[in-house]
Amino acid sequence: MTDGVIEGVAGPEERPDRHADRPLPDGRTDTYRHPPLVRVSHWVNVTAVVILIMSGLNILLAHPHLDWGRDTNWGNHWVDIPPIPNWLLIPDHRNLAEARHWHFFFAWVFVINGLIYLAYGFISRRFNGRLWPSREDLAGFWPSVKEHARFHFPKDEEARNYNVIQKLTYVFMILVVLPMMLITGLSMSPGFNAVGGFLLDIMGGRQSARTLHFISGALIVGFIVVHVGLVFWTGFVNNMRAMITGWFVLEPSTPHGEDRKGDPS
């Protein structure tokens, strides 16, 4: 050992970066996209959100109407909920008490998991670096909308980072819709009402809170349909591999447009 260096052991500067790009045959590149915490919290979140929606539908069926204000408006509801098949419910039959147990347990899973993901996102600066759109991103918003409308998605170097629409959608879900689901749900909880009854007043009453809670759930369902649709469209195996192992394959760069899936030319 000389000068604090153990012979045969690489110093920090010589240690290979485990997350550096890995060249693949045919000019493709394997790039590291999602750290373990993001992957685990994503799949915990998917489980919690799906169970929350299915048990939430069961709870909704105990009073399949939506209203605005403090009280339900018998005979003139804002929305009447149509029948929902049992296979979409948790448990798979009408049972308010059991559905509430599932809903409240997974609400805690959702909250704790979400807080861990948020804390990590801010501390590691993942939000700044990967999710928050830059001015440059925003300037490219309309061209990106046109590309999306034509179902053109880059698969080469351009796919290394999320595009501006992806960034805006993820940020909107993480910072607006998911917290809205949580706050509207919390405002209806009798336990929380004892200390935070003001939340119900802000919402305009229990029926408004219930309707807003339903709207946030519907926005989440809409997001899941488009999100999963795009996961399939832009390369199911590659996207799923990224969210399971962390690694994502970039195709070799080609003249603009040639690598785009859905491009008829």
Contact set with ligand HEM (CB under 6 A): 33, 38, 42, 45-46, 49, 170, 173-174, 220, 223-224, 227-228, 231, 239-240, 242-243, 248
Between 52 and 209, name the residue whose CB sits nearer to ligand HEM: 52
Residue showing tokens 């805690």: 108
Q: Is 175 helix (H, G, I), strand (E, B) or coil?
A: helix
What's the token pair of residue 259? 């690598």
Q: Which of 4, 230, 189 is nearest to 107 (CA)?
A: 189
Nearer to ligand HEM, 38 or 107 (CB): 38
Query: From the CB of 38, what's the least distance to ligand HEM, in Å?
Result: 5
Which residue blocks in the chain are alpha helix, DSSP H?
36-60, 96-123, 126, 135-139, 141-149, 164-172, 178-188, 190-196, 198-203, 206-233, 236-245
Closest distance of CB 231 from ligand HEM, Å: 5
Q: How far is the CB of 8 from ligand HEM (least distance, A)?
A: 38
Least Å distance, CB 10 to ligand HEM, is: 31
Q: Which is nearer to ligand HEM, 139 or 228 (CB)?
A: 228
- Of the two residues 200 and 242, which places its CB atom closer to ligand HEM in the complex? 242
End-to-end CA distance of the chain: 63
At which residue do the structure tokens 């992806």 appear? 166
- Cβ closer to ligand HEM: 72 or 124? 124
What is the closest distance, in whole angstroms, from the C-beta atom of residue 241 to ligand HEM in the complex? Answer: 8
Distance CA 95, CA 61 (A): 9
